[in-house]
Amino acid sequence: MDIALFERKSGYEWHIKPFGKMHVPGVIFASESLLREMDAKVYEQVTNVAMLPGIVKASWAMPDAHWGYGFPIGGVAAFDADAGGVVSAGGVGFDISCGVRILHTGLHVEDIGAVKSKLADALYRAIPAGMGSTGAIRLNAAAMDAMLEGGARWAVERGFGTSADLERIEEAGCMRGADSSQVSMQAKKRQKDEMGTLGSGNHYLEIQMVTDVYAPGTAVAFDVNPGDVLVSIHCGSRGLGHQIGTEFLKRMVIAAPGYGIALPDRELACAPIESSLGKEYLGAMRAAVNCALANRQILTHLTRQVFSQLLPEARLSLLYDVSHNTCKIEEHQVDGRMKKLYVHRKGATRAFGPGHPDLPKKLRDVGQPVLIGGSMGTASYILAGTEQGMQLACGSACHGAGRAMSRHQALQNWNGRQVVDNLEDHGILIRSPSMRGVAEEAPGAYKDVSAVVDAADGAGLARKVARVVPLICIKG
């Protein structure tokens, strides 16, 4: 990326002045080195998003930003329905509510050494992973609709966890406004056998160890200490979310001219928030969010079962669950007054600061846990939302390392078996049904997650709390 295209506001904030049909500035949060390494398509997509009707404040991109469908991955934008704002299926993405949850185990790294290999094998047997993976749960039509409208609450009511889990999940485990009637039969068909499965791509279940703590006071509130063993689950709404995204993008492209919307890019297909199509998409999208929340809840139950057999002293309580790839109604300050906005986060996560009423009481004083996933073999990070971040980008932060090369390029550079063997030499056990998938997700195919996190911290989007490294990775 040519940094001459930007006005530098700080060491980690770069602005694009509005030009052409842009309604608001473009803003990229990154170090100079990360910005230089970004592909030029990010600049194009950030400026295109700034042209959409009803956008407010800015079109933002997080430090892990890279080219995506319509919006850059790592893109954030907020829209005002009262100003003709739109909702964009491309601004949410295909894997709706792909997200991360972290579980405490109450164990120290020394506690799992003797059973590490057995634990890896048992988790691999218990957690269906890979393209087209299916689980033991079969949903009929009534159960499907109940799940889509109940989310993690539905799962807990059926014995997949406890009410205490719901306190540590965004939306308290169930996103209001979900409308299962707006989810097509094809989307439901794709999901009926996929509950409690990881899927493929960058999804994983990891057993991790805390190596460093940067903010001791916040770490106490989060209950993370050096040497602690954690469980991280990264997955989303599987085939259902992808089907919803595909179907509504097609409908929005066709409908846009009728709404008087001139799209700067067909991939930015959208509809007015207050239109019938916009409301139908929001109902379906929220149902997909609930699907993802229920899916992660079931995976948590399966993980607890494995631990109860091999490490019965483990407690596996939930630290937090955050979603990426969503559009949420939130109140943020615009021109000095609070406004209800529709905040799109694509490959980005909510990062609310201290005092926010939506946070659990035990976390409210320190801010929301922000969970930044690594890339199999690299570190992951736990951060906390900041008040500054609420002003900078509507309480948003990056969600991971971000790809540095395509999956095709990764296949040309790495062999899956060699990746697995190399990571085992470094004490990281990989279990996966696909060596091709492992090669596509090789750690070297991603940006330096530490550099990305340092940029988010430096920009003030969120502050570093702890660093963790993988011990076991179940990979789709």
Which residue numbers are catalytic?
A: 399
CA gap 427, 407 in Å, rounded: 25
- Dihedral of CA 41/243/85/356: which sign? negative
Identity of the residue numbered 160: F
**C-alpha closest to that of 54 among 231, 272, 230:** 272
* C-alpha torsion angle, residues 284, 389, 203, 99 (rounded to 10): -40
CA gap 172, 243 in Å, rounded: 25
- Do the Cβ atoms of 392 and 459 come closer than 8 Å? yes
Q: Is 68 left (phi over 0), alpha (psi -120 to 50) or beta?
A: beta
CA gap 12, 60 in Å, rounded: 13
Say which residues have a Cβ less than 8 Å from residue 143's Cβ, sequence separation at least 6: none
**CA angle in degrees (0–180, nearest 5) for 264-268-271:** 105
- Dihedral of CA 174/231/243/194: which sign? negative
* 153, containing H or E segment: helix 141-157
Which SS3 state, helix, strand or coil, does residue 2 take?
coil
Per DSSP, 72 falls in state P
**C-alpha closest to that of 201 among 398, 41, 400:** 400
Complete DSSP assignment for 395-453: SEEE-B--BSS-HHHHHHH--HHHHHHHHHHTT-EEE-S-HHHHHHT-GGGB--HHHHH
Phi, psi (5° rounding) for residue 23?
-90, -25
